[in-house]
Amino acid sequence: MKFTALQIATHINGIIEGNENTSVNGFSKIEDGKEGDISFLANPKYEDHLYTTKASIIVVSNVLELKEPVAPTLIRVSEPYASFAKLMRYYQNLLSTNLVGIEEPSFIHPTATIGKNVYVAAFSYIGENAVVGDDSKIYPHSYLGSNVKVGSNTTIFAGVKIYHNCVIGNDVLIHAGTVIGGDGFGFAPQSDGRYKKIPQLGNVIVEDFVEIGANVCVDRATMGSTIIKKGTKLDNLVQIAHNVEVGENTVVAAQAGISGSTKIGNHVTIGGQAGIVGHILIAEGAKINGQSGVSKSIRDKNTIVTGSPAFDFSSAMRAQAIFRKLPDLEKKIKELENLIEILIKEKEELSS
């Protein structure tokens, strides 16, 4: 598919500098651009590439002042990164719009409800009383259990498993290998040392505009619901335990884990490999650095924590600075101890 600068500028409300009939058919980084590509410049430190790139069209900021002439056609916008992302989403949607219909072999229970313009790939399973909304896409080897509800314009990639009674909202993206609604980790210790499984009777609710990466596990609630609220983004290999609530527009990076019944506020950022214990609260806007271990509630909004156990970021930085000085401090302490010993001896000699 080819698009002209005029078509692109119209889509992202940009202003053209150059030939409005310049056409492109691919995307690239600005430093790797070649003829027929479109790229963008958002970070000023990459500006030098603007004057050497072979890309045909570059999306740039309205306020960028050129240091020298450029060969590509420019499209000026207020937010280059956001505008370029919008173009990529548009292009991706165009590529996938041809995927409509039900492929064979696949299984759709007679009581299931399938909306308009839905794509169900071969080797998919859609269970009893399941619902799939309009314009949604179910890729190969996906499993939707009984009573699962999937909203409109949602994409379930290959190998995703959604257990019974779970609810997936509109405009959700779930990547390959993810499991939604597996049993929570609940076992009661017995007097003979064994562990008896506690039934997990709840479900998972994933609200609108959520994106879930590959090989993520979101466990069903023991009772009630595990909830991923709208706009939240989960990276690959994230673990969300039973009865957790993750607030709106929260971001969780890869390999992070959130233990059972913890409540995460809105607009929280959780770094990679961070671990959060169960039954605590994380306040709105909190930032948890990668590999932090959070063992108690964060109750103040916009708090930044780091370390394991995690504590206030500023205090942690001061502690690290002191830690680096420990050898010098130890040396000074020994010098002071020696000096004290000398003073004590001198005092004893004088008193005798």
Between the alpha carbon of residue 266 and those of residues 269, 284, 328, the distances in Å are: 9, 5, 44
Per-residue b or e along 37-71, where b marks 16 or more CB atoms closer than 10 Å to that residue's CB: bbbbbbeeeeeebbeebebbbbbbbeebeeeeebe
Interatomic CA distance for residues 55 and 43, integer angstroms:
17
- Burial environment of residue 331 by CB neighbours within 10 A (0 to 12, 13 to 18, 19 or more): exposed
Residues sharing a CB contact under 8 Å with residue 43, sequence separation 6 or more, in sequence order: none
- Look up residue 138 and give its two tokens: 């179910």
CA geometry: angle 107, 165, 266, nearest 5 deg: 125
* Contact (Cβ atoms closer than 8 angstroms) between residue 73 and residue 56: yes
Alpha-carbon radius of gyration of the chain: 28
Between the alpha carbon of residue 63 and those of residues 45, 60, 77, 254, the distances in Å are: 15, 9, 9, 35
Q: List residues with catalytic annotation.
A: 242
- Look up residue 39 and give its two tokens: 């790229």
Centre a 10 Å sphere on the Cβ of residue 199 and count the other Cβ atoms it contains.
10
- Burial environment of residue 284 by CB neighbours within 10 A (0 to 12, 13 to 18, 19 or more): middle
Interatomic CA distance for residues 283 and 231, integer angstroms:
17
Closest to 126 measured CA to CA, from 115, 138, 134, 116: 138
